[in-house]
Amino acid sequence: MAKETQFVEQIADINADFPQWYTDVVLKTKLVDYGPVKGTMVIRPYGYAIWENIQKELDTRFKKRGVENAYFPLLIPMSFFTKEAEHVEGFAPEVAVVTHAGGEDLAEPLAIRPTSETIIGTMCSKWVQSYRDLPLKVNQWCNVMRWEKTTRPFLRTSEFLWQEGHTVHSNQAEAEEETLGMLETYKEFAENCLAIPVLTGRKTEKEKFAGAVATYTMEAMMRDGKSLQAGTSHYLGQNFATAFDIKYLGNEGVLNTAYTTSWGVSTRLIGAIIMTHGDERGLVLPPVVAPIQCVIVPIASRKPGVVEACEALKQELEAGGVRVTLDNSDNSPGWKFNEWEMKGVPVRIELGPRDIEAGKMICARRDTLEKTEMPLTNVVEGVKALLASVQKDMLEAARKRCDARITYADDIQGILAGVDGGNFVKAGWCGCRDCEDKIKEETGATARVYAEGEVKETCAVCGKKSEHVIIYARAY
């Protein structure tokens, strides 16, 4: 018994020390390990399997939107960045630069991509010649590097994995529609695949992407009440098209400047899953992206027929499309229960001699820890229905937690009290940058997203007429 309880006690108390709990979970469930270079991470197979499932789900959605995958170089000439002044200024502190290779100084320094607007803009200027070439929609799955001073696995690392989509359009309306359409795609994916409710909308000018006309975001509330920017979609207008000479000959014979967009999510989504759903026992993974959806634990495995019955059950579930594993190790059942609970597997099946004799199995849900009996007939249908219920209930539980922690404030003291209490706070804003800066200085909260359609009479900082309602929160 000491061995079993010790396994659970290795994780810090989620309520007493949330940051340490997070670190314990990502390391002890073997999602990641620290890389040899400061600020880097090694994504281990269990963590990478989650990313693969995220990729699969998103890639299907991208292709339905007419997006094609491509790949662009890791190294980008520094001169490319100087073409879009706001962009280079925004990324300058984070850019890692290669200055020599092969024992010689390079004729021009090369940036290790922090994002790919510049290189993709350069290539699009070659590919787009006529209105017949539009719209152009490409995406790449790749790594990027941003030299971060403070890092945490998945949430903020110097190198991370992501996808970045880029589109080119003939007119403003189509480009804006693509920007908002992708934001909606991200929201649907976050809610239906990750079981994470998100708030979507436009960022303030201060918080927008460097070089964009407008940035749209999806913000997710973590267990500690902080916000995580889980994905962004940018309307770039003609800024990058002008800088990189992306022009097309219209059907009227006139040369026109195109309109572009970019959008992306990253391995930060894995951090969002951990911090949205995790509990005192460790991970709680939504079935759609869980590497293992179901684990079978034999009870009294030395008894005749038990292991064979478990193997047959595993094969049946696998044939039905369930991601399943059989834990036939020599650890005790209790130890296995703790281990698989910490790893967040959505459903655990217990099968022993008495169960086999009675023609049933015991199914334990990871999200609620509830146990139910299920017949050993039509197991694929039964387990899939249970997984669907887990997926649905996880979203509903997360949404209830989020809704209960969105408050309102009329002044800066109210914003401070709200974020100190682990809440998102809606407050009026006059639109003045000084007021936005003051809120960050005095509360540590930033403007996460506009609360479109809502009205507050006065600005929470200066008391002047409010132009907008903003959702403020402390953020990762």
In a domain, 282, yes or no: no
* CATH number of the domain residue 226 falls in: 3.30.930.10
Give the residue among 439, 457, 446, 440 at the shortest CA–CA distance from 424: 446
Residues 173 and 305 grouped into a single domain: no
Q: What's the pLDDT band for 382 if we cut at 50, 70, 90?
A: very high
Residue 53 belongs to what domain range?
Answer: 2-277
Please name the residue that has the structure tokens 């495995």.
301
Report the share of the chain in percent with pLDDT over 70: 97
Q: Which of 395, 429, 451 is the C-terminal boundary of a domain?
A: 395
Kindly state the average pLDDT of the residues 248-264.
97
**Whether 193 contacts 286, CB under 8 Å:** yes
400 lies in some domain: no
Which of 213, 247, 277 marks a domain boundary?
A: 277
Please report, rounded to a whole number, the percentage of residues in the chain having pLDDT higher than 90.
92
Q: What is the pLDDT of residues 76-87, one digit of tens each?
A: 999 998 886 676
pLDDT at 88 over 90: no
Strand-strand pairing, 68-69 and 227-237? unpaired
217 in the same domain as 359: no
Confidence (pLDDT) at 220: 98
What gap in Å lies between CA 57 and CA 71, rounded to an integer? 19
| Domain limit, last residue, from 346, 363, 395 | 395
Q: Does position 1 have pLDDT exceeding 70, yes or no? A: no
What mean pLDDT, rounded, does the chain reach?
95
- What pLDDT shows up at residue 2? 38
Looking at the structure, do residues 410 and 343 belong to the same domain, yes or no? no
Q: What distance in Å separates the CA atoms of residue 79 and residue 107, rounded to the nearest whole number?
A: 12
pLDDT in tens, 302-354: 899 999 999 999 999 999 999 999 999 999 999 999 999 999 999 999 999 99
Backbone angles phi, psi at 235, to 5 degrees: -90, 115
Beta-bridge partner residues of 351: 298
Amino acid identity at 270:
I
> Using 50, 70 and 90 to split pLDDT, how confident is the model at 4?
very low
- The model's pTM is 0.95
pLDDT of residue 93: 77
Distances (CA, A) of 150 to 101, 155, 289, 473: 28, 10, 28, 19
Residues 55 and 135 in one domain: yes
Domain membership flag for residue 410: yes
Tell me what pLDDT residue 90 has: 65
Write the CATH number for 345. Answer: 3.40.50.800
69 found inside a domain:
yes
Summarize pLDDT for 269-289 with one digit per residue, the tens. Answer: 999 999 999 999 999 999 999
Q: For every residue of the chain, which 3-state class applies, written as one string?
A: CHHHHHHHHCCCCCCCCHHHHHHHHHHHCCCEEECCCCCCEEECHHHHHHHHHHHHHHHHHHHHCCCEECCCCCEEEHHHHCCCHHHHHHHHHHCEEEEEECCEEEEEEEEECCCCHHHHHHHHHHHCCEHHHCCEEEEEEEEEECCCCCCECCCECCEEEEEEEEEEECCHHHHHHHHHHHHHHHHHHHHHCCCCCEEEEECCCCCCCCCCCEEEEEEEECCCCCEEEEEEEEEEECHHHHHCCCEEECCCCCEEECEEEEEEEECHHHHHHHHHHCECCECCCCCCCCCCCEEEEECCCCCCCHHHHHHHHHHHHHHCCCCEEECCCCCCHHHHHHHHHHCCCCEEEEECHHHHHHCEEEEEECCCCCEEEEECCCHHHHHHHHHHHHHHHHHHHHHHHHHHCEEECCCHHHHHHHHHCCCEEEEEECCCHHHHHHHHHHHCCEEEEECCCCCCCECCCCCCECCEEEEEECEC
Q: How many domains does the chain have?
A: 3
pLDDT tens digits for range 184-225: 999 999 999 999 999 999 999 999 998 999 999 999 999 999
Lowest mean pLDDT among 77-86, 99-108, 430-439: 77-86
285 in any annotated domain: no
The CATH number that applies at residue 460 is: 3.30.110.30
Mean pLDDT to the nearest integer, 411-440? 98
- Answer for the pair 23, 152: CB distance below 8 angstroms, yes or no: yes
**Residues 177 and 314 reside in one and the same domain:** no
Residues 256 and 234 grouped into a single domain:
yes
Residue 317 lies in a domain: yes
Say if residue 312 is in the same domain as residue 363.
Answer: yes
> Is 90 exceeded by the pLDDT of residue 460?
yes
Looking at the structure, tell me whether residues 318 and 439 fall in a common domain.
Answer: no
- Cα gap 182→200, rounded to integer Å: 11
pLDDT at residue 172 in the model: 98
Q: What is the spatial distance between Cα 298 and Cα 346, in angstroms, rounded to a whole number?
A: 17
Q: Are residues 365 and 322 in the same domain?
A: yes
Placement of tokens 């000479």 in the chain: 245
For the stretch 11-70, pLDDT in tens is 999 999 999 999 999 999 999 999 999 999 999 999 999 999 999 999 999 999 999 999
Predicted confidence (pLDDT) at residue 474 exceeds the cutoff of 80: yes
Is the pLDDT at 444 greater than 80, yes or no? yes
Same domain, residue pair 36 and 170: yes
Cα 223 from Cα 404, distance rounded (Å): 12
Q: Does any domain span residue 101?
A: yes
Q: Are residues 388 and 450 in the same domain?
A: no
289 within domain boundaries: no
Residues 49 and 177 in one domain: yes
Question: Is residue 359 pLDDT above 90, yes or no?
Answer: yes
